[in-house]
Structure 1
Amino acid sequence: MKPKILITNDDGLYSLGLRASYDALKDLGEVYVVAPMIQKSGVGRSISIMTPIRMHKVHVNGMEVYAVDGTPTDAVILGIYEVIGEIPDLIVSGINLGENLSTEAVTTSGTVCSALEGATQGSKAIAISLEMPDHEKFEVFPKEFDFSLAKRVLRKIARKVLKDGLPEGVDVLNVNVPSKAVDERIVVTRLARKLYRTRVEKRYDPRGREYYWIYGIEIEDAEEGTDIHALKNGYVSVTPISVDLTAEVDFKSLERWLNE
């Protein structure tokens, strides 16, 4: 029996990265593509529990896609329980247009968080992103990006996961592919603490009312062994992630501290 593979993303159904994932995986099993209708970057693991969700089957870029008017997490849930009807053998989120690095990405990226949702539901999961300049990530009419290395890396890792599963204690593999790779070697990394130095810019509209842009200045350097360090040095970064966010502390000591 062919393994069932669910592909999703947070860039929307027209993303060239979605098609790249499909091309890399289409002959590895029974592939289903379920994705948000529009760009949903940065929504994290939000879920539509207060509004109804609609889903339509469409043909985009040569693929049959189930388009969901909700979040990436919504797409995963509908993909599992309405489209496939069972837990898939593998969920792949991406290929995202732009890297997803550090603890910030784990909590805010729709790409990573949809993979986490898949893992929570019981599937093996991969999130994969391709590094690119900020000004190219959200272009209305994007140019053709070079997905060749990302596709080879995704295919290699997907085949390994489908064959052998994930290591004990690992729920998601967060993969980041450099735009200019030194070679195709994969480096296993830990999450850097931060990718951006947060900034807030106050502006005024034509009527003089205040509004704000939240943005960040990218951190160029990071400790060796982190995902940022590997990517900035031209290596493919793979970070093993667990859905269990419990801190590794001495519970008894913490209880004594709380009850002093």
Structure 2
Amino acid sequence: MPKLNILITNDDGIDSPGIWHLWDAVKHLGRVTIVAPEVEQSATALSITTRTPLHVKKRAWDGAEAWAVSGTPADCVKMALSVILDSAPDLIISGINRGANSGRTVLYSGTCGGAIEGALRGIPGIAFSVSDYLKPQFSFTTPYIPKIIEFTRKYPLPEATILNVNFPLYDEAGIKGFKLARQGREYILESPLKREHPTEGSAYFWMGIRFLECHEEEDSDVALLKKGYATAVPVHIGELTHVGHLDAHKTLFEQHF
């Protein structure tokens, strides 16, 4: 297959181990450019920076052009396409994130946000995450990443769709298998921790998070990850309209006024 022009981003920051492992997995596939947040930007989803200036700084990277951006993953993709790159990439890949981005947590995920920003512009995107947040082992995932990319080249993603890939917790026995899955229902709930300012006495909070466990279909990414499978969900971000509600209530709504 022809060599690829690949853009890498993430939300854990340009100095995170996960982005290095992602680059190492794909560096032989073609030209690779890295544009990632200067500091961690987890849970920033598709947010962009509009009220402070963005700084774009070139970073030393063995074998790739690398840039650090003082913003979110979506900012990074915007700066890459508008400022840094001389042409649009063939593929945007994001990660490897520490902690799973399964179920409806994709709505919070900066890792997925970077891939989605490209998909909005017609550029295929893949988001990669590992389930272990505290002590992630990225190296066991890297042999599979080129295979996943190869599959998307053979069977291209539909327009306005990203592939959201999650690897299970590390097991010495290996990954149980790979599943093209449906998105699960689990998502993040708040778990606020209240504190008081030591001199002023005013309250402040650490948000804290917990996961709302839902009934999951057996073919969902959440259920399959717990069984030791790696999952890939084609997440469509094009038409967001609930067409059924629109068709059923359009006339009634307009007559209501």
TM above 0.5, yes or no, is yes
Matching residue of 1:140: none
Matching residue of 2:204: 211
For the Cα contact (< 8 Å) 2:37–2:73, is it kept in 1? yes
Check 1:80–1:192 CA distance in 2 against 1; reply closer, same or farther (3 A cut). Answer: same
Tell me the secondary structure at the aligned position of residue 152 of structure 1: coil
Query: Which of 131, 143, 147 is equivalent to 1:156?
Result: 147
Matching residue of 2:169: 179
For the Cα contact (< 8 Å) 1:101–1:228, is it kept in 2? yes
Within-5 A mapping of 1:1-260: 2-60=3-61, 64-103=65-104, 105-133=105-133, 135-136=134-135, 145-166=136-157, 168=158, 171-181=161-171, 183-207=175-199, 208-219=201-212, 222-223=215-216, 224-244=218-238, 245-258=240-253, 259-260=255-256
Tell me the secondary structure at the aligned position of residue 127 of structure 2: strand
Bigger drift between 170-179 and 194-203 goes to 194-203
1:180-201 deviation digits (Å, cap 9, x = unpaired): 3563521122222233343323
Q: 2: distance between equivalents of 1:237 and 1:99? A: 11
Q: 2: distance between equivalents of 1:56 and 1:68? A: 6
Q: 1: distance between equivalents of 2:169 and 2:160? A: 26
Check 1:227–1:165 CA distance in 2 against 1; reply closer, same or farther (3 A cut). Answer: same
Tell me the secondary structure at the aligned position of residue 150 of structure 1: coil
Tell me the secondary structure at the aligned position of residue 4 of structure 1: strand
Q: TM-score, normalised by structure 2?
A: 0.88
Unpaired segments ≥5 residues, structure 2: none
1:56-96 deviation digits (Å, cap 9, x = unpaired): 11115775421111111111111122222222110000011
For the Cα contact (< 8 Å) 1:222–1:229, is it kept in 2? no
Q: 2: distance between equivalents of 1:59 and 1:93? A: 19
Residue 235 of structure 1: how far off its partner (Å)? 0.6
Q: 1: distance between equivalents of 2:115 and 2:9? A: 9
Bigger drift between 77-86 and 2-11 goes to 77-86
Residue 257 of structure 1: how far off its partner (Å)? 4.4
Count of aligned positions? 249
Q: 1: distance between equivalents of 2:161 and 2:84? A: 23
Q: 2: distance between equivalents of 1:170 and 1:149? A: 29
Structure 1 runs (4+) greater than 6 angstroms displaced:
none
Unpaired segments ≥5 residues, structure 1: 137-144
For the Cα contact (< 8 Å) 1:87–1:121, is it kept in 2? no
Q: 2: distance between equivalents of 1:20 and 1:221? A: 32
Residue 220 of structure 1: how far off its partner (Å)? 5.6
Q: How large is the RMSD of aligned CA atoms in angstroms?
A: 2.2
Residue 216 of structure 1: how far off its partner (Å)? 2.6
For the Cα contact (< 8 Å) 1:221–1:229, is it kept in 2? no
Identity, in percent, stands at: 35
